Amino acid sequence: MATAMTSLVITAALVLGSPGPAPVALAASSATFGLQRALPFYFGIMSGLALAALASAAGLGALFSHFPNLRRVLEVVAALYIIYLAYGIATASPPSDPSDAGGAPRFRDGMLLNVINPKSYAAFLAIFSQSILPLASPLWAYGLTAATCLAVAASTNMFWMASGQLLTSWLRRPGAARVIRGVLATAMVAAVLWAMFG
């Protein structure tokens, strides 16, 4: 069991913690608006990921395999939504009042990002098919596997937010702020294109 758990944690860190659209969006939000103002977005992303895990365990993969066009439509919608968020980050001017969260992505933005992103489902389908924990009860096996993956994702996503926070002081300089926000927004769009075509 210990070996299976170690393998699962490593797989989850690689699959869910790699620089895809959601982690890059978290880093960009934290850099632009500060860690505290990016927390609702973080919790939304984690909630959407939990829903994706639940849907994957319930057999959404079978629906995607029977209707491949549905997956493609969701990929396009998710890509457009990420581009919308990237535009908001690129054009944002961080509020001077730390309590003012205006302009920062919200909880619903994060949840929607993962709910409409087929890559979230694909990640869990891959994990469930290759790294499910060896427990006698399928319910417990899927449940503990999903919970472990979500714990890993929570840690790696917090790492991405903390990384973004390191750029906050640079964003107080008007010239540097424009460049950094532009680079982060471009990275978000690049991550989407890589996820779709890479």
Does residue 180 fall inside a structural domain?
yes
- SS3 (DSSP) at 160: helix
The parent domain of residue 44 ranges over: 21-27+36-197
pLDDT in tens, 69-128: 877 777 777 777 778 777 877 776 654 444 445 678 899 999 998 888 777 887 888 788
Does residue 155 fall inside a structural domain?
yes
Q: How many domains does the chain have?
A: 1
CA distances (Å), origin 165, targets 36, 37, 150, 182:
10, 11, 22, 16
**How much is the average pLDDT of 42-46?**
96
What does the block give as tokens for 134? 């060896």
Does residue 11 fall inside a structural domain?
no
pTM for this one?
0.74
Which residue matches tokens 């790294």? Answer: 131
Does residue 159 fall inside a structural domain?
yes
Does residue 5 fall inside a structural domain?
no
CA distances (Å), origin 146, targets 8, 32, 71, 114, 143:
10, 31, 22, 15, 5
Among 26-35, 113-122, 151-160, the range scoring the smallest mean pLDDT is: 113-122
Does residue 10 fall inside a structural domain?
no
Does residue 77 fall inside a structural domain?
yes
Task: For 135, list phi and psi in degrees, rounded to 5.
Answer: -115, 150
